[in-house]
Amino acid sequence: MEPLRLALWQTAHPADSTEALARLDSASREAAARGAHWLVTPEMFLTGYLIAPERLIAHAETADGPLLQAVRGIARRHRIGIVTGWPEANKEARPFNSAAAIDGTGALLAVHRKTHLFGDGDTLRFTPGSAPPAWFDWRGWRLGLLICFDVEHDEPLRQLADAGAHAVLVPTANMVGYDQVQRTRLPEAARRFGVAIAYANACGREGETVYNGLSTVCSRAGERLGAATRDEDVLQATVTFPTSTPPARTRA
């Protein structure tokens, strides 16, 4: 089976969606030229993350709205899969913090709604998703989606592992002061649940919040396949297809 070639785009959040799409187009073109199958952006990249709640509501769209239609066009143009996030419209309450997986033909393969909201930053802006983690099949791989704080909880990873996922793609916006997530949690969780984890973090500042970078890719054995510093970067990593049964999973 063909290895999975990933590009984790560690970057600052944009000022607006126009900037986001322009930068995404450029990053996708460059990642495709370097042979990546998938480009993973930080959490909520298409609009900004910790912006005013009323701005998020104003920019919230369904999965068939103009924002993801534009992303689908970028993916199709550069023939690269893209995982990125946006505020998904929710008629009943605050929007969902969602991530979409769009393949190199422009097809929307999966949408995951963040289930584990982190602190007031999330709870004042979003409604938690209630569905199990999303996954999709691509060229023989089964790939799962989680968002940021989701990956710090065992149950979403257990659900994806039980669904047969080989790797989990995680747009995130982890902050300074929480380096233990990348340093300790990711390799430990990858090893324990037998899934590779690709964690694409933001960097720089958004308002008063400073993101800690350190985007990371771990193999299902917990081996660190790639790690970024704290600065702007595109982390390239290759995950090989598993050829043996994953280690037995344990319950915490």
Which of these is catalytic: 2, 30, 91, 114? 114
- Length reported for the chain: 252
Beta-carbon neighbour count of residue 232 at 10 Å? Answer: 13
148 is a catalytic site residue: yes
Q: Strands, DSSP E only, in 175-231?
A: 196-200, 203-206, 209-212, 216-218, 224-227
Which of these is catalytic: 61, 148, 152, 206? 148
Terminal-to-terminal C-alpha distance of the chain: 32
Which of these is catalytic: 2, 19, 30, 43? 43
CA–CA gap between residue 96 and residue 252 (Å, rounded): 28
43 is a catalytic site residue: yes
CA–CA gap between residue 196 and residue 19 (Å, rounded): 31
91 is a catalytic site residue: no
Kindly list the catalytic residues.
Answer: 43, 114, 148
